[in-house]
Amino acid sequence: MLDRALTSLEGESGLLAVREKSGSYSIGASKNLSDGAIGRVQPLLDDIIPQIAQSQAFDVLSELAGQPAERLANGGGRMHYMVLAPLEIEREMLGLLIVFRAHAQSVFGDQHRPLLDALTSEMASSLHSKRLLNELLTERERSEQLRSTFVSIVTHELQTPLSIIKGYASTLARRDVEWQPDFVSDSLQIIEEEADRLSRLVSDLLEVSQIETHGIRVEPVQVDLRSLFEHAVARLRAAHPQTPLNLGIEGEPAMINVDPDRLEQVLINLVDNAIKYSPRGSPVNISLSSAPEEIHFSVSDRGVGIPENQRERIFDRFYRVDNSAARKAKGTGLGLFIVRAIVEAHGGRIWVDSAPGQGSTFHVVLPRGRGEI
């Protein structure tokens, strides 16, 4: 395409600059330009050239000594003219066609614009198709990776409780042994716990599917957060008797318009996560405070922590922190994905402060909402 453009525009040299998603430009193709000339072009692609293209598109620019055409083309004063044409589709800048010419005896005027329009339209269309193809391939690669991760995690998470349930059930079913009541009771309790774990896994998978298909559904009502948190923490203390759970509430009782079941799900999930990735018996601190327009609560632990480059990714589905302590912990990497969806469905935001080896603090801020009491 660049060869054809040079022939049609009677140019001696030229290049095609491609606009990246970030807004910067890179050289996609060049013709008859030295390495030195290309080196001079690159620093100007994000500054001078786009400005010229926007203000004087489809015109030949007569350049004087020391101006862009001479500096860009060869630095020798031979290229005095430069044709700049933006490559656009639906007003989106995809790139720039730049052609250098030594002489102006065939000035590019209005009569030549149909030719330039045809050239730039074809080039823009090709760039657009290439970008779409790259995005499709990237998404396909990401989907394949997600599917592989999904199969790996779910297979492991399903196999473990199923193996435990089957093992204990087979043991209790043996007719050649008379088991002691304590052993039977403990075995049944383990079977029940693993069955609950399976149930949670299936529930999480169904919820993720629902979120991705239709979004998450919340049913807000006026709730007293002090009562909700005290009730939820009492349940968590009963479920985790070995973990000191400290609840601190500042200010007056906070009334807020939220879905109480969903908000309790967020709190329980964050606390379960904190316990899972902390040393056994390590305390977990929960704090709640309110302001006129919003409420803030946090869950802090003294666990393994999260590296800075992974703090945003932990909210992605199936993502788990890449360290040895995290790999030992059970989980599918769905909990924080669901938590973020619930928080955002309430118009809130969630983030984490953390340092490897020093623990993590998850912060949630929610607007008080309508109907505030």
Residue-wise pLDDT for 66-85, tens only, equals 355 445 544 444 555 667 77
**Which tops the pLDDT comparison, 241 or 67?**
241
* Stretch 147-164: mean pLDDT: 67
Superfamily grouping for domain 221-367: Histidine kinase-like ATPase, C-terminal domain (3.30.565.10)
- The pLDDT of residue 331 is 55
- Encode 43-59 in three state secondary structure: HHCCCHHHHHHHHCCCC
Confidence of residue 118 (pLDDT cuts 50, 70, 90): confident
Confidence of residue 65 (pLDDT cuts 50, 70, 90): very low
* Stretch 222-250: mean pLDDT: 89
Whole-angstrom CA distances from 16 to 25, 46, 66, 114, 258 are: 10, 14, 22, 20, 54
* Stretch 186-196: mean pLDDT: 85
- The pLDDT of residue 196 is 79
* Stretch 225-236: mean pLDDT: 89
**Which tops the pLDDT comparison, 320 or 230?**
230
**Which tops the pLDDT comparison, 306 or 207?**
306
* Stretch 194-216: mean pLDDT: 74
Confidence of residue 64 (pLDDT cuts 50, 70, 90): very low
What is the rounded distance in angstroms from the CA atom of residue 228 to the CA atom of residue 264? Answer: 7
Write down the architecture of domain 145-214 according to CATH.
Orthogonal Bundle (1.10)
- Short-list 204, 171, 148, CA closest to 330: 204
What is the rounded distance in angstroms from the CA atom of residue 196 to the CA atom of residue 191? Answer: 9
Beta bridge partners of 19: 25
Each domain of the chain, given as residue ranges in start order, spans 2-108, 145-214, 221-367
- Short-list 159, 290, 152, CA closest to 226: 290
> Of the given ranges (117-121, 187-191, 351-355), which has the lowest mean pLDDT?
117-121
pLDDT tens profile 1-56 = 888 888 877 777 888 888 877 777 788 888 888 777 777 777 667 666 656 555 54
- The pLDDT of residue 59 is 44
Q: Phi and psi for 188 in degrees, rounded to 5?
A: -65, -35
Give yes or no for residue 352 having a pLDDT over 50. yes
How much is the mean pLDDT over the chain? 76
Helix (H) or strand (E) holding 288: strand 284-290
* Stretch 207-234: mean pLDDT: 82
* Stretch 343-355: mean pLDDT: 90
* Stretch 156-174: mean pLDDT: 80
Total-model pTM? 0.51
Would you say how long the chain is, in residues?
A: 373
**Which tops the pLDDT comparison, 145 or 358?**
358
Using an 8 Å Cβ cutoff, are 307 and 371 in contact? no
Q: Which of 177-191, 192-206, 311-325 shows the highest mean pLDDT?
A: 177-191
Beta bridge partners of 361: 300, 353
Helix (H) or strand (E) holding 165: helix 113-172
> Of the given ranges (106-110, 236-240, 250-254, 325-329), which has the lowest mean pLDDT?
325-329
Which fold does the domain 2-108 belong to in CATH? Answer: Beta-Lactamase (3.30.450)
Dig out the tokens for 149 from the structure. 């991760």
- Roughly how many angstroms between the first and final C-alpha of the chain, as a whole number? 67
Confidence of residue 349 (pLDDT cuts 50, 70, 90): very high
